[in-house]
Structure 1
Amino acid sequence: MRKTLLLLTALSFNLLYALGQDTPQHDKAYTGPLNKVIGEAGNDTGFDMAPETTPKVVAAAVSSIKTKMPVGPFQPNWESLKANYKVPEWYKGAKFGLCMHWGLYSVPAYHNEWYEKHMYTDGGIGAWHAQHFGEQDKFGYKDFIPMFSAEKFDPEAWADLIQKSGARFFMPACQHHDGFALWDSQVTPFNAKQMGPKRDLIGELCKAVRKRGLKFGFTNHQIENFQFINPPQAMLDKMKAEQADLFDPKWASFYNVADRSDEACRKFLVGWFERNVELIDKYQPDMLWFDNGVDQRYLDPLKLMVAAYYYNSARKWGKEVSLNTKKAAFAPSGVNTATIGSVLDFEGKTPPGIRTGTWDVDTEIGSTWGYTSDMRVSNASAIVGRLIDIVSKNGTMMLNLSPKADGTIPQEQQQTLLGVGKWLAVNGDAVYDTHNWITFAEGGQDAPKIYFTVKGDALYAIILGKWPGESVTITSLAQDKAPEGKVTSVTMLGSKEKLKFTQEVAGLKINLPVAAPCDIAYTLKITGLKMNPATTTASGSPMN
């Protein structure tokens, strides 16, 4: 079985690159027409963070992997993924989940989660580091490990908060660009069980979150670790001469700076595969998310092996699971509207218009992804507004949390989450298990901003912003614009009042309750009109 899979991988690989190619080959910029309204795009050739390596090295890594592949229908090629993959039913209707950036960078809590990259520089953040912790050859990034204590970490309290937020899934970062693993690993010694907290942070969270009936996965950024640190030459020379920090033999494979040969990269890529296998086997994730580093086509043979291993394992578990990737990482055609075997993720930016299929947006709760001491945190109103916009366009929002190094979630972030959960407790029927209508919103400026979602035969109109007063008019439901049928009832979620309405040339005019049932946004449920059917697809890609 394994020989067959490797052969299929090699054949797929050879279709992309000539044998013996030994120079880095980044994807060429896609030059065809793109539908920007739905966020159609290809891989970003200027920002991919994939290891600067060659197809030849990737092929060597694939051929040296000794892991036995699980038996199942998935083989490591695009044709097999396309034939066998389906978006999990649970994810289609989830609509709101949480992710998390927590790691060694939470200790200095300065600038952002890329602290490791920026601390090895002259001036700027490098100078700040030297001033506060010492020169880099005396106090390197590795020296934050004992300070990442997580002494106040309470997974049960975290899981309670996650549940109260209204999130349906939780996906913490299991390792960021620094490669420090937050789980009990036998593949890498640089992990939270053997160092720092001396705890299996991922395992404890997994158990607590699933105990509350929520889905659990994780985000994995480690592929970007191989060339993440790029110090100035003088700093490199000094450390090399001293055999210090980046060049300390005990830490060489943690930093991946002292040796960036083809052989070192081959070992790194094999290690990346083995870490994923360990995570899959150990925690049976409901979703596995990868950052930009897996985007480039020359990595296809390796990531296809991870996909086949994951999906065949999930068949054995009897679970619906999915990968979650960016841009054209799992779109061999070069455009994300033809994604195969993965849910598409947009980082921070929501498509301007409706995008059918299944997709999500990962977005920050504050001004940085990882905790920083001066980070600004968005309030519940801002997060709910973002959620409504994403869901009205048919997407799912994945909101990022930023815990402190001691294992606490800052009070300001907790307040925001509880505010979102309070709003969802009243209005969740207009969010969960919904899909887009024929238009995602109307109004704004001088008129109330109203967003739309659909569930079954019900149209939900979510009024964002301040309470509009005695009445509101929905222009999209004017006599000459409304879908087939006749409005038979209008209610407001959270209110028991029967609402009077009239359908006029100007729109559907609705008399609102005397008192608002909640704050932030207010949802009207309208029945009687013919609604468009669900716009999800088995592949997750947009409808043709």
Structure 2
Amino acid sequence: MYKYLKIIDDVIEKGYYKDDWVSLMDFEVPAWFKKAKFGIFIHWGIYSVPEYSNEWYSRNMYTEGMPAFQHHIETYGRQADFGYKDFIPMFTAKKFNPKEWARLLKESGAKYVFPVAEHHDGFQMYKSSISHFNSYEMGPKRDVLGELKEALEQEGLVFCTSSHRAEHWFFMGNGKKFDSDVKEPLKRGDFYWPAMPEPDFQDLLSEPYPNEEFLQDWLVRTCEIIDEYKPKILYFDWWIQHVAFEPYLRKLVAYYYNRGLEWGEKVAVCYKHDALMFGSGIVELERGKFANPKPFYWQTDTAVARNSWCYTDSLDYKTSVEIICDLIDVVSKNGNMLLNIGPRADGSIPKTDAQILKEIGEWLKVNGEAIYNTKVWRKSSEGPTKEIEGQFSDNEAKKYTREDIRFTVSGKCIYAAVLNYPEDGKVIIKSLAESVNQNIPEFHGIINSVSILGFDEKPIWKRNTQGLSIETKTVKSDYPVVFKIQIK
């Protein structure tokens, strides 16, 4: 532990980036990330075994009043007799085939992948020297993260990863309130340690503060992931914005960015809730998006299901159409989408997850030029349907109309994606109307041609002061339809 802390200090002392926000503001979003637009998140771990409710099973099974508490007793027995640790031998991952995963994710059209390295439950999905409770020594007895990295990179996908370790400070704490297997004394390296009382999740000053022992452990664990697996981007979940993490987080980011320079890579940290100083990493929005385009680059993380990040037996799945519409909207506003799937405990990808990924991939094969390598246009959107800004706003699918259109640009082309293509094939793009007053900053270019991605029909089009009117006869689609508008 202390030897590693010395290494961390030495790297920062000798490196370009120092552990202060002024230095870390020299960060730049990697160019590949801004071009990639679409990535895959993977929540898979011990919490996948019970297949109940959501990925917070390790907390909820010890929280009286939560459905998982009673479910656990009825299904597995009292928590004192069968605790969360007893799921580890059941997590055999006998069907886990990283090459098959990588091929499917490549087929989805994703360009980068974030397998979760460690979730709130404290089980490391990789080979570790910090704790014996890891997938290499227990459960599957495989270096899951390492195998996935190798398979993903063979398919040309960029390897990234995430740590949700911060929340483990309190995640098992409720297990101390009654007779369970979460018992003192607990010490560093134990699976349940430290199991502290649960704070107010949103209070940045909530007590009990994470102590130095836990914060050092968090820092070293994360640096081990950086050094052993060299992720191109590192993602943190919400609780690292607590004030106690701030000096350790600065140190972690400086260490990571300096290591990236050593590798010849621009790396990045995705963060939520102003955990990092603005401009020193990539802004992350959970299960939501911005209503308007932003001058900074950002990412939304969402999932194929509304009610869980991991596989359960009661998933409320989105449709691929809904996800594609969200992807288009996010990209038009200067963002990326990170879409989560949840494999089953045996390592198989659920059929519905796989089908959704394949359908997204089929759409991107045809329309990808309107997504990848694009930039925002002077307008991101037009139409009556208003996007809700903020986190956790994806509970219901939007009902888009023929007038809801999103824009991107690349080269000499403006791409206009009609989110709900009309049966009569008639579309008016108001943002491309002829300019009546040249002093008003509207589009004042010359349209050379209009074509439709994925369709042979040549649309009839004309432009006047009302907009660019487009008419098709044979184009039918349940998915968004993209017009490629070439400028002279």
Is the structural similarity TM-score above 0.5? yes
CA contact (8 A) 2:49 2:87 kept: yes
Letter in 2 for 1:99: F
Once residues 297 and 426 of structure 1 are traced to their aligned partners in structure 2, the CA distance between those partners, rounded to angstroms, is 47
Structure 1 pair 221/233, CA: closer, same or farther in 2 (3 Å)? closer
**Equivalents in 2 of 1:265, 1:62: separation in Å?**
16
**1:106-141 deviations in whole A, cap 9, x for unaligned?**
111111111111111234321111110010111111
Q: Does 1:493 align with 2:453?
A: yes
Counterpart code for 1:254: F
Deviation at 1:440, TM superposition (A): 2.0
The equivalent residue for 1:388 is 328
| Cross-structure match for 1:404 | 344
**CA distances 1:394-440 after superposition (whole Å, capped 9, x unpaired):** 11000011111100110001000000000000000001111222222
Aligned equivalent of 2:31:
89
CA RMSD of aligned residues (A): 2.4
2:195 and 2:454 map into 1 onto residues whose CA distance is 61
**Counterpart AA for 1:286:** K
How many angstroms does 1:505 deviate by?
2.4
Inter-CA distance 99–264: structure 2 relative to 1 (3 Å threshold): closer
Which residue of 375, 398, 421 maps to 2:315?
Answer: 375
C-alpha deviations, 1:438-471, integer Å up to 9, x for none?
2222234664321111123311100112444343
Classify 1:513/1:279 alpha carbon distance in 2 versus 1 (closer, same or farther; 3 Å): farther
Amino acid at match of 1:86: E
For 2:116, which of 147, 169, 173 is the aligned residue?
A: 173
Matched, 1:456 2:411: yes
Counterpart amino acid of residue 129 in structure 1: H
Counterpart CA distance in 2 for 1:259 and 1:495 is 59
1:205 aligns with 2:148: yes
Aligned pairs (5 A) from 1:273-288: 273-288=219-234
Higher relative contact order (CA 8 A, sep 6+): 1
Identify which of 84, 103, 108 aligns with 1:141: 84
| 1:102 maps onto 2:44 in alignment | yes
2:455 counterpart SS class? coil
SS of alignment partner, residue 350 of structure 1? coil
Count the aligned residue pairs: 454
Q: 1:488-527 counterparts in 2 under 5 A?
A: 488-512=448-472, 514-516=474-476, 519-527=478-486
CA deviation after TM superposition for structure 1 residue 173, in Å = 0.8
Instruction: Report the equivalent of 2:73.
Output: 130
CA contact (8 A) 1:138 1:245 kept: no
What is the TM-score of this pair, normalised by structure 2? Answer: 0.88
Distance (Å, rounded) in 1 between the aligned partners of 2:226 and 2:251: 13
Higher mean C-alpha deviation, range 407-416 or range 439-448:
439-448
Please report how far the alpha carbon of residue 495 of structure 1 lies from its aligned counterpart in structure 2 after TM superposition.
2.7
Corresponding residue for residue 283 of structure 2: 344
Alpha-carbon distance, 1:259 to partner? 7.1
When the two structures are superposed, what TM-score results if normalisation uses the length of structure 1?
Answer: 0.79
Identity in percent: 37
Unpaired runs of 5+ in structure 1? 1-60, 332-338, 530-544
Structure 1 counterpart of 2:301, from 341, 362, 377: 362
Alignment partners' CA distance in 1, 2:317 and 2:195: 38
Q: Secondary structure at the match of 1:360?
A: strand
**Aligned partner of residue 405 in structure 1, secondary structure:** coil
The 1:310/1:151 distance shift into structure 2, 3 A limit, reads: same
Contact 1:100–1:401, Cα closer than 8 Å, also in 2: yes
Q: State yes or no: 1:253 paired with 2:190.
A: yes
One-letter amino acid matched to 1:431 = I
Q: What secondary structure sits across from 1:408 in the alignment? A: coil
Distance 2:22 2:401 in 1: 51
Distance in 2 between residues matched to 1:465 and 1:154, nearest whole Å: 37
Letter in 1 for 2:468: L
CA contact (8 A) 2:43 2:116 kept: yes
User: Aligned with 1:66: secondary structure?
Assistant: helix
Query: How far has the Cα of 1:248 moved from its partner?
Result: 6.7
What residue in structure 2 maps to residue 334 of structure 1?
A: none
What SS does structure 2 have at the residue aligned with 1:254?
A: coil
Distance 1:448 1:194, change over 3 A: same
2:192 and 2:401 map into 1 onto residues whose CA distance is 55
Is residue 2:35 matched to residue 1:72? no
C-alpha distance in 1, partners of 2:229/2:257?
A: 14
Q: Cα distance 1:472–1:273, how it changes in 2: closer, same or farther (>3 A)?
A: same
Cα separation, 2, equivalents of 1:92 and 1:388: 14
1:156 offset after TM fit, Å?
0.3
Deviation at residue 179 of structure 1 after TM alignment: 1.1
CA distance in 2, matches of 1:140, 1:248: 16
The secondary structure found in structure 2 opposite 1:472 is strand
Alpha carbons of 1:485 and 1:384: their partners in 2 closer, same or farther (altered >3 Å)? Answer: same
Task: Return the alpha-carbon distance in structure 2 between the equivalents of residues 510 and 185 of structure 1.
Answer: 59
CA distance in 1, matches of 2:212, 2:83: 26
CA distance in 1, matches of 2:187, 2:213: 16
User: Where does structure 2 lack aligned partners over 5 or more consecutive residues?
Assistant: 198-206, 385-399, 437-441
The structural deviation recorded for 1:508 is 0.6
